[in-house]
Structure formats: C-alpha cells, structure tokens
C-alpha cells in the first residue's frame, strides 16, 4: 500500500496461526546483499527458530493464506466494515474521522468536527465508548479518543455488521 517497499518485515504468531511458536524476518535484496557482503554470518537463534515443526506449520499457513485469498478477503471485508462505519457514524456531530485499510479501521471522536478540537482528556470519551462496547459484547482497542477495530480476516460479514451496530449504539450512549 502507498507504494511502500519495506527493507525488513518481522513476523511471528500469525505465520503459524498461533499453533506453534515461530518468528522470523524477511529482508529486501539490498539488505540481504549488504549482510552477505560483510563476510560474517548473521545469526539469531532461539528455541523457536527454524524448528522443523514450526516451519511445516508456517508453510501450511502460507498455503491457506494463498488458496483462501486472505488479501482479497481483507480488501472486500475491510471495505464492508469501513462503509458500514461511515454509514452509521459519518453524520455524528462528534465523529471527526473514520479511516481504514483492509481489516484495520478507526473512528476518531472530537469535541468539534469543524475545528478538530479534541475532547478534554479528563472526559475520557474513548474509554467510556470502549466500556459501552464491552457491555454490549465487543472488545477492541482504544487509544485516547480513537476507537480501533482490527478483526481477523475470518470474521463473518454478519459479525462485521454487528460490530458496526455495537459501536454506533455505544457512541450514541456516550455522546449522543
């Protein structure tokens, strides 16, 4: 996305879907060539590094990601989630921004949408909305007055719609 080509990617839990401890890194050709040119081996080993079972699980997970088109699912389901959030909350007088890409979305709450003025910290709007979503059966992440959603790719569409409804109801309960 955004034309970004990373030099290094770290990965862990998701590479085995959490079934086996494994982590690793992927590096760009440029970084790999630089490391090789030093003439020194680059080693980083732990008990969960290069374990044959972990590697087999990771290969199976990569096959699932590819055959079930997780990137395509993330794009399609994420678009549904973002559209639902925008439909339910975009006209709210205290919703400053609704943003997202793939399955990661966020709703930012502000005191004044015209100026972008934030609520006073002591109002704890984000925390109060989070409490309301928890009471309604949904737990997610909040940072200040930004409520973030990052459901797993395997989330059913009805559940995504339910998430939107819960957040909209919680928003109205806290700030009208």
Residue-wise pLDDT tens digits, 88-129:
999 999 999 999 999 999 999 999 999 999 999 999 999 999
We report the CATH number of the domain holding residue 156 as 3.90.1150.10
Q: Assess if residue 1 is contained within a domain.
A: no
Same domain, 120 and 155: yes
**Would residue 93 count as lying in a domain?**
yes
Residues 149 and 79 occupy one common structural domain:
yes
Choice between 39 and 151, residue whose per-residue pLDDT is larger: 151
Does residue 167 share a domain with residue 89? Answer: yes
Q: Is residue 62 part of a domain?
A: yes
pLDDT of residue 91: 92
Whole-number pLDDT of residue 101:
96
Please give the tally of structural domains in the chain: 2
- pLDDT of 50: 77
The boundaries of the domain holding residue 20 are: 8-67
Q: Are 10 and 22 in contact (CB under 8 A)?
A: no
Has residue 83 been placed in a domain? yes
Q: For residue 108, what pLDDT is reported?
A: 98
- Residue 170 and residue 93 share a domain: yes
Query: Residue 15 is encoded by which pair of tokens?
Result: 């590479």
Same domain, 37 and 88: no
Higher pLDDT, 167 or 11: 167
* Same domain? 81 vs 150: yes
Q: Are residues 171 and 118 in the same domain?
A: yes
Is 8 within 8 Å of 27 (Cβ atoms)?
A: yes
Q: Are residues 16 and 63 in the same domain?
A: yes
Same domain, 60 and 76: no
Q: Is residue 3 part of a domain?
A: no
pLDDT tens string 17-68: 999 998 888 999 999 999 899 888 877 767 667 789 999 999 999 999 999 9
Does residue 141 fall inside a structural domain?
yes
pLDDT value at residue 56: 96
Interstrand relation of 104-109 and 141-143 (parallel, antiparallel or unpaired): unpaired
Q: Cα–Cα–Cα angle for 117, 122, 126, nearest 5°?
A: 70
Is the pLDDT confidence value at 175 over 90?
Answer: yes
pLDDT at 44: 72
Same domain membership, residue 147 and residue 80: yes
> What is the pLDDT at residue 47?
67
Same domain, residue pair 61 and 86: no
* 166 and 113 part of one domain: yes
- Give me the sign of the Cα torsion angle 148, 151, 152, 157: negative
Q: Which of 41, 67, 93 is the last residue of a domain?
A: 67
Q: 151 vs 38, which has greater pLDDT?
A: 151
């Amino acid at each position: 996305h955004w034309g970004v080509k990373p030099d290094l990617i770290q990965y862990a839990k998701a590479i085995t879907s959490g079934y086996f401890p494994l982590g690793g890194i992927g590096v760009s050709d440029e970084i790999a060539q630089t490391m090789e040119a030093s003439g020194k081996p680059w080693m980083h080993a732990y008990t969960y590094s290069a374990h044959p079972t972990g590697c087999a699980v990771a290969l199976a997970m990569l096959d699932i990601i590819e055959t079930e088109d997780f990137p395509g699912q993330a794009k399609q389901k994420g678009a549904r989630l973002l559209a639902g959030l925008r439909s339910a909350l975009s006209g709210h007088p205290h919703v400053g921004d609704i943003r997202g890409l793939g399955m990661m979305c966020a709703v930012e709450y502000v005191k004044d949408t015209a100026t972008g003025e934030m609520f006073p910290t002591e109002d704890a709007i984000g925390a109060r909305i989070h409490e309301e979503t928890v009471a309604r059966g949904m737990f997610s992440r909040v940072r200040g007055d930004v409520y973030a959603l990052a459901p797993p790719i395997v989330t059913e569409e009805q559940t995504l719609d339910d998430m939107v409804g819960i957040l909209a109801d919680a928003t109205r309960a806290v700030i009208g």
